[in-house]
Amino acid sequence: MTTNYIESSEILNYQHPTIQALIKHKAWRRLTPEQALQAVYYFIRDEIKFGYNIDDSISASDVLNDGYGQCNTKSTLFMALLRALNIPCKFHGFTIYNALQRGVIPNYLMLLAPKRILHSWVEVKINGVWLNHEGFIIDKPLLVQVQQAYPESKNFNGYGIAVSDLHRPDNEITTESTYIQSSGIADDFGIFDTPDDFYNLHGSNLMGFKKLLYRIALRHIINRNVKNLRNNGLPS
């Protein structure tokens, strides 16, 4: 049982050379904890683009190598970087309704998606207070494209976003928690010391042939769609 929430794990492998090299390159160890949290948060949000990795339970170094991630894999890298900087954090597991993925996942693939999808955010202790951080999931360029396509929308559910106000989402670092998909939560599985503990208990979103098909082909189709949305905007 983790008591200080700064330990590494198989998934949170922050001793990996690529993670250590990133921290050194960014000079994050020179920052205060508050500054480091902000710098890591925006790195995860905007430099690790929104996209679909081969599996939820890949290691932090693999997420960094991919250069993209979704809620769970971005959470993994976020946690690993924070713990490497001695900032305590823990994993909070959920499911979300698959409707909020519509748009990033093409409609013809939605029938293959589970009705409820494993989801997570990270709880971070800063200045003695625990804050929830989920707002890093959707990178800013993708969010801007959605906002431009729906200029009059407030309550919004789709394109990886579930918020009460599309044009004022709680995804900027302040002294409060950040969210971008929280309005779509279905089940709350509680807090875990590490993502390893969560996936050991709850497994993954897909099984059998669907999982194989996702790994080989479907995620690449989805990622091309996301890249097109980010670069060229949403369909009229």
The DSSP result for 214-231, as a single string, is IIIIIHHHHHHHHHHHHH
Q: What percent of the chain has pLDDT over 90?
A: 87
pLDDT at position 3 is: 66
Terminal alpha carbon distance of the chain? 51
Please, which pLDDT band fits residue 215 given cuts at 50, 70 and 90? confident
Mean pLDDT of the chain: 94
pLDDT digits (tens, 9 = 90+) for 16-70: 999 999 999 999 999 999 999 999 999 999 999 999 999 999 999 999 999 999 9
CATH topology for 17-229 is: C8orf32 fold (3.10.620)
Between 94-98, 125-129, 212-216, 227-231, the lowest mean confidence (pLDDT) is in 212-216
Please, which pLDDT band fits residue 4 given cuts at 50, 70 and 90? confident
pLDDT at position 213 is: 85
pLDDT at position 1 is: 47
Rounded Cα distance between 90 and 79, Å, is 7
Best CA proximity match to 147, nearest among 137, 160, 136, 129:
160
pLDDT over 80 at 7, yes or no: yes
pLDDT digits (tens, 9 = 90+) for 101-152: 999 999 989 888 889 999 999 999 999 999 999 999 999 999 999 999 999 9
pLDDT at position 16 is: 98
Contact 125, 80 (CB under 8 A): no
Q: Who has greater pLDDT, 188 or 204? A: 188
pLDDT at position 95 is: 96
Rounded Cα distance between 213 and 210, Å, is 5
pLDDT at position 203 is: 86
- Three-point CA angle 8, 11, 12, nearest 5°: 35
| Residue 176 tokens, joined | 């409060």
The DSSP result for 35-85, as a single string, is HHHHHHHHIIIIISEE---S-TT--HHHHHHHTEE-HHHHHHHHHHHHHHT
